[in-house]
Amino acid sequence: MLKSILFTGRCSLFAVLLLFGLQSNAQVRTFDFTPKQIINPENIDIVRDEFGVPHIFGKTDAEVAYGLEWAACEDDFETLQYLLMAAKCHMGKHLGVEGAQIDYAVQLMGLHEYVDEHYESGVADDFKLILEAACQGVNAYAAAHPDEVWIKKAFPVTPKEVIIGFMLGQSLMAGVDGVIKGILDGRFAKELPKKELNDDGIGSNAYAFNSALTDHGNTYHVINSHQPIEGILSWYEAHVHSEEGWNCTGGLFHGSVSILHGTNENLSWAHTTGDLDLKDVYHLKMHPKKKNWYWFDGEWRKLETKRAKLKVGLGKNKGFVLGIKKKYWESVYGPTLITDQGTFAFRMPTLFKMNAGEQWYRMNKAKNFTEFYNTMDIQGICLQNITYADKYDTIFFIANGVVPVRDPNYDWSKVLPGDTSATLWTEYLKPEDLAQNLNPACGYVYNTNNCIYNNTCLDYVNDPDLFPVSIGYDAQKRTNRGFRSQEILESLSHIDYESVKKLKFDIQYPDSMVFLKNYPIMELFRMNPADHPEVADIIKKFNDWDFTADTTDMNAAAIVTMFYEMYYDNTFSVEQIRDNDSIRQVFFVNNLKATKERLITHFGTIDVPLGDVQVLSRGGIDLAVDGGPDAIRAVYCQKRDDGRLTMWVGDGLVQFVKFTKDGPKIESINPYGSSNKPNGKHYTSQMKMFVNHELKKMSLDKEEVYKNAAEVYHPGAERAQ
């Protein structure tokens, strides 16, 4: 639920918010900010290329961090404010009661207290300067553009709040919203597994190849994370370059202070979402008579009572602000909630790990594999797999994350007893304890959110018996992207750079499809049209489909994609559909009917090419886009009133890297453009290239960037129109 507010600004209410007690003049904790050095924007150049991508140049890393945030604000100050306002607990002011859910959750997680207590000792001094400079850049932009500021009192932004933003982002990726919701709606009181059956194929791709397969000793790398293509977790492309050894280009989220995945002069790395268990829920044994006392290690302890301090904007323009306090509790395990179904606590590494930003910054500046691998000792990045390549012919994969060391005598996949220190973890597995592969002889590593043991050729599959069950690696995890990638990769004896591109834009599904929340989806392709006359024509299209997702072919691709978007039906549970043959048939037929009705209503026929239905849309432009859900060319859509499906998740920023003796050759493409402002010159400037599989050249070379510059200016300077 928290994610859906941050992505879209919309969400239904948590039941707990109906129980708010009202008190006036509530104030959330604030942090002072006096930077140790004042950045002079005259020392910074923002160089925009022909596609509007910012290249930031400065003498120091801190100057570059200032310029990066200024450029990000220029291109999308609204998106940048979402996560910063969440970190400052001002979402209630901006979005009303729905935004207060985020503010409540942030305070429930204890992020402000943790960062305030550990910031000085837990953040490296040189990275503090980066954070301070980045905040100066954001605050300077806000001061120069007050009409774009949501809440004036939310500024200045401070380094501690940036750290909180990183922790919140990591927690959302690790599933904190599902944990809180599961406690409040009673799911965990039913002794159900923590992980719900909700696999739908959404994820990311990454590939790396070395000279065992490639031409001329080159190393190839594909960076291809699947994120929402707009909003707080959409990719923003930039290039940073200082005279202190920071020279990196790639993708970041708005408000980040460095590149999150990309390429420097020596190496390149890509992230895919890991399949780790990073959340634990505990059922506390409460005293039968003494309120708020719980049993732990043979004695009764009292819960610490706390109050989330919220400001909720009411009215059409949220002009009337109401101060609210809402109780929550803390046990020895961490955040705790008292519900009608019992008292539950939860614990996640992301609540105690505040160095993700620093780890990414160190990755940006690593010069070789050893330096890059050593950054993982920071253990700030909690959930992201890493696929790596460098100019020294090194390729590498690690199922990276911050995983607790857990007692093997407990079933950590379920709700745990909250009465013993045996379930209270305090340490983490080391990076060398995680599944990984360095330079397999077959010449490639990859991840498509498939089973992480299968990260290279079959001869080098990791042994599941080497890893504790509680780590959460899913040996049964399957994706269409994984199956299709394996089909292609296992047949290789050689690959050139153009073939790497062809792999990335592949629109062929495997012969045996998976996904749709673990339903046996292939049954859909084997249904007998005669058994279901009302949808016989559409079933026949399924039967005859060649499993390609081209925009022009008059095959079943449009129907399959439409069916995928129509199948979100809550009539039956996921378990019923997966396990009950008759219910699954009813579910399939109902959704086939809905798919047919929608196609007939809006297109007059079921014989529709994919390109008429599936589009990349922005600024009044609709462009046919190939691919589909869980294809390597990943496209996930939302329904539109005119019957079309508009892409909103999938191939975001795509980057190709070829490491040669002369340095890295880098190409990239973005679904929309560098600006998210509707009146911006580059609001839609990459759309046609994106749908046509075309790429733009990126460069780390300062001289070349200036030579080809479309615009050069200092932060705060008046720009040419």
The neighbour count for residue 285, using CB atoms within 10 Å, is 16
DSSP structure string for 547-578: SB--SS--SSHHHHHHHHHH----SS-HHHHH
As to burial, measured by CB atoms within 10 angstroms (0-12 exposed, 13-18 middle, 19+ buried), residue 80 is: buried
As to burial, measured by CB atoms within 10 angstroms (0-12 exposed, 13-18 middle, 19+ buried), residue 321 is: middle
Q: Is 464 domain-assigned?
A: yes
Q: Is 643 domain-assigned?
A: no
Q: Give per-residue pLDDT as tens, 304-342.
A: 999 988 888 887 777 777 888 889 999 999 999 999 999
- The Cα–Cα gap between 305 and 295 comes to 16
Q: Is 440 domain-assigned?
A: yes
- The Cα–Cα gap between 594 and 606 comes to 12
* pLDDT at res. 26: 37
As to burial, measured by CB atoms within 10 angstroms (0-12 exposed, 13-18 middle, 19+ buried), residue 191 is: exposed
Alpha-carbon torsion angle 139, 308, 306, 414, nearest 10:
-100
Q: Is 686 domain-assigned?
A: no
Cis peptide before 156 (omega within 30 of 0): yes
| Residues 303 and 373 placed together within one structural domain of the fold | no
* pLDDT at res. 721: 55
* pLDDT at res. 515: 74
Q: Is 715 domain-assigned?
A: no
| Residues 80 and 125 placed together within one structural domain of the fold | yes
Nearest Cα residue to 352 out of 163, 199, 529:
163
User: Which secondary-structure segment (H or E) carries 602?
Assistant: helix 581-603
In the chain the first and final C-alpha atoms are separated, in Å, by: 41
SS3 state at 326: strand
Nearest Cα residue to 349 out of 427, 437, 412, 444:
427
DSSP structure string for 386-429: EEEEETTS-EEEE-----B---TTS-TTS-EESS-GGG----B-
* pLDDT at res. 215: 86
* pLDDT at res. 7: 37
Per-residue buried b or exposed e for 145-165, using 16+ beta carbons within 10 Å of the residue's own CB: eeeeebbeebbbbbbbbbbbb
- Beta bridge mates, 286: 294
* pLDDT at res. 29: 62
Boundary (domain end) residue, out of 471, 504, 537: 504
The DSSP code for 382 is -
Task: Determine the length of the chain.
Answer: 721
| Residues 211 and 337 placed together within one structural domain of the fold | no
In this structure, what CATH number is given to the domain that contains residue 90? Answer: 1.10.439.10
Contacts 24+ apart (CB under 8 A), 531-535: 532/589, 532/592, 534/593, 535/589, 535/592, 535/593, 535/596
| Residues 244 and 118 placed together within one structural domain of the fold | no
| Residues 106 and 53 placed together within one structural domain of the fold | yes
| Residue position matching structure tokens 């994106």 | 690
* pLDDT at res. 82: 86
* pLDDT at res. 568: 67
**Which stretches of 301-389 are DSSP H helices?**
356-365, 369-375
* pLDDT at res. 151: 86
- The Cα–Cα gap between 684 and 675 comes to 8
As to burial, measured by CB atoms within 10 angstroms (0-12 exposed, 13-18 middle, 19+ buried), residue 580 is: middle
Nearest Cα residue to 91 out of 174, 207, 5:
5
Tokens matching residue 204: 């990311």
The amino acid sitting at 238 is A
Q: Is 691 domain-assigned?
A: no
Count of structural domains, the chain? 3
Boundary (domain end) residue, out of 578, 595, 624: 624
For residue 449, the Cα-to-chain-centroid distance in whole angstroms is: 13
* pLDDT at res. 203: 83
| Residues 444 and 531 placed together within one structural domain of the fold | no
User: Which domain covers residue 604, as residue numbers?
Assistant: 521-624
- The Cα–Cα gap between 304 and 16 comes to 19
- The Cα–Cα gap between 235 and 686 comes to 14
- The Cα–Cα gap between 634 and 45 comes to 36
**Which stretches of 145-265 are DSSP H helices?**
159-174, 176-184
Residues with Cβ within 8 Å of 58's Cβ and at least 6 positions away in sequence, in order, are 43, 44, 45, 64, 66, 67, 241, 242, 243
- The Cα–Cα gap between 58 and 489 comes to 42
Q: Is 172 domain-assigned?
A: yes
Q: Give per-residue pLDDT as tens, 442-484.
A: 999 999 999 899 999 989 999 999 999 999 998 888 899 999 9
User: Which secondary-structure segment (H or E) carries 691?
Assistant: helix 687-691
Residues (pLDDT < 70) of the chain are 1-29, 192-201, 516-517, 567-569, 720-721
| Residues 111 and 148 placed together within one structural domain of the fold | yes
| Residues 190 and 48 placed together within one structural domain of the fold | yes
The C-alpha angle with vertex 164 and arms to 163 and 165, in degrees rounded to 5, equals 90
| Residues 563 and 453 placed together within one structural domain of the fold | no
Residues with Cβ within 8 Å of 276's Cβ and at least 6 positions away in sequence, in order, are 383, 399, 401, 403, 471, 472, 473
- The Cα–Cα gap between 309 and 305 comes to 13
* pLDDT at res. 626: 97
Q: Is 713 domain-assigned?
A: no
Asked if residue 264 lies in contact with residue 362, where contact means CB atoms within 8 angstroms, the answer is no
In this structure, what CATH number is given to the domain that contains residue 438? Answer: 3.60.20.10
The C-alpha angle with vertex 448 and arms to 465 and 181, in degrees rounded to 5, equals 80
pTM above 0.85, yes or no: yes
| Residues 113 and 185 placed together within one structural domain of the fold | yes
Tokens matching residue 252: 């970041």
Distances (CA, A) of 139 to 41, 136, 216, 712: 13, 5, 48, 22
* pLDDT at res. 198: 53
- The Cα–Cα gap between 388 and 209 comes to 9
Boundary (domain end) residue, out of 570, 589, 624: 624
* pLDDT at res. 19: 31
For residue 509, the Cα-to-chain-centroid distance in whole angstroms is: 24
| Residues 174 and 238 placed together within one structural domain of the fold | no
Tokens matching residue 400: 């990276």
| Residues 217 and 237 placed together within one structural domain of the fold | yes
